[in-house]
Every structure is written in C-alpha cells, then in structure tokens.
C-alpha cells in the first residue's frame, strides 16, 4: 500500500497514512482535531551511489537533504 501525506484544513497538522489506491482521494479526518484533511502532493528525490562512492541524482529535484533542503548539511548521509 502506498503512503500518502495529508494536511488538516483546520489545525494544519501534517500526517501520513498507508492507504490503498482506491481510498487515496476519499475523505479523512485529522487525528488531532477530527476535522477534514486534504491529501498533499508528495515530493521526493532519489539518489544512487556508484562503486567509487560518488552520489548522483536518479530522479526528483532539490538537494539530498530532506529535513532542511539545504545544499550542504552535515546531518545528511
């Protein structure tokens, strides 16, 4: 099952749910305030490492740092 991202329309809580494709667009309530939530467009980047250890982007955009989106982040692997 795919993992979908949602955001509450009232309290702006962002959360993820594993749901089947058939349920992806059906309504969902926020786990915090129980109001309606909408599905968000998920973005990602994919990287590959060759035998020399060099990292290159396979798909997506942006940097390899998903937590801060910076171009040089010592906390990213």
Would you kindly state where each structural domain of the chain is located, as residue ranges?
1-58
Write the burial class of residue 34 (CB in 10 Å: 0-12 exposed, 13-18 middle, 19+ buried): exposed
CB 77 within 8 A of CB 53: no
Tens digit of pLDDT for each residue in 52-63? 887 776 755 554
Residues 6+ apart with CB under 8 A from 33: 8, 10, 11, 13
Tens digit of pLDDT for each residue in 9-29? 999 999 999 999 899 889 999
What confidence category does residue 77 fall into, taking pLDDT thresholds of 50, 70 and 90? very low
Does the pTM surpass 0.85? The reply is no
């Amino acid at each position: 099952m795919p993992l979908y991202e949602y955001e509450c329309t009232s309290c702006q809580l962002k959360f993820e749910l594993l749901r089947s494709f058939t349920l992806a667009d059906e309504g969902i309530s926020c786990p915090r305030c129980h109001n309606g939530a909408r599905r968000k467009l998920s973005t990602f980047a994919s990287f590959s490492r060759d035998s020399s250890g060099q990292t290159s982007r396979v798909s997506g955009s942006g940097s390899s740092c998903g937590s801060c989106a910076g171009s040089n982040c010592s906390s990213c692997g």
